[in-house]
Homo-oligomer: A and B are copies of this chain.
Amino acid sequence: MNIYDIAKEAGVSIATVSRVINGSRKVSERTRAKVLAIMKETDYTPNIFARGLSGDFTNTVGILVPDVSNMYMSRAVSFLENRLHVKGYNVVLSCSGYDADGKEQHIRMLLDERIDAMVLVGSTYAGSGTSSHNTDSIMAAAEKLPVFLINGDVDADNIYCTYSNDEAVSYELTKKMIDSGCRQLLFITDSESYSANQKKAGFTKALRDGGISIRDEFFLHLPNSIVDVKGYLSMHSFEFDGCFATEDAMAIGVLKYAASRRLKVPEDISIVGYNNTEFCVASTPELTSVDNRLRQMCEDTVDRLIAVLSGNKTVPRRTSVACTVIRRGTTMF
Using CB atoms and an 8 Å cutoff, list the residues of chain A in contact with chain B: 45-53, 58, 60, 63, 67-71, 74-75, 77-79, 81-82, 85, 90-95, 106, 108-109, 111-114, 225-227, 249, 252, 256, 259, 278-279, 281-284
By secondary structure, the A interface counts as helix
In the assembly, what is the distance between CA of A84 and CA of B324, in Å?
Answer: 38
Q: Nearest residue in B to A105 (C-beta to C-beta)?
A: B85
Interface centre among A47, A60, A69, A78 (most CB of B within 10 A): A69
- B53 and A50 contacting across the interface, CB-CB below 8 Å: yes
- B81 and A75 contacting across the interface, CB-CB below 8 Å: no
Provide the residues of chain B in CB contact with A78, threshold 8 Å.
67-69, 95
- A75 and B69 contacting across the interface, CB-CB below 8 Å: yes
In the assembly, what is the distance between CA of A76 and CA of B60, in Å?
Answer: 22
Q: Known contacts A49-B53, A75-B69, A284-B283; is A226 also within 8 Å of B278 by CB? A: yes
Provide the residues of chain B in CB contact with A53, threshold 8 Å.
47, 49-50, 53
Could you list 19 further interchain pairs (A-B, Cβ under 8 angstroms) beyond the known A90-B94, A252-B282, A279-B282?
A45-B112, A47-B114, A49-B50, A49-B51, A49-B58, A68-B77, A69-B78, A77-B93, A78-B95, A81-B94, A85-B109, A91-B93, A93-B93, A226-B281, A227-B281, A259-B284, A282-B283, A283-B283, A284-B284
Q: Report, nearest first, the 10 A-B pairs whose CB atoms are least far apart.
A: A74-B74, A49-B52, A69-B78, A282-B282, A49-B53, A93-B93, A69-B75, A49-B49, A68-B78, A45-B112
- A48 and B284 contacting across the interface, CB-CB below 8 Å: no
Provide the residues of chain B in CB contact with A82, threshold 8 Å.
95
Provide the residues of chain B in CB contact with A63, threshold 8 Å.
93
| Minimum CB–CB distance for A39 against chain B, Å | 13
Q: Nearest residue in B to A52 (C-beta to C-beta)?
A: B49
Provide the residues of chain B in CB contact with A113, threshold 8 Å.
48, 90
Provide the residues of chain B in CB contact with A106, threshold 8 Å.
85
Provide the residues of chain B in CB contact with A94, threshold 8 Å.
81, 85, 90-91
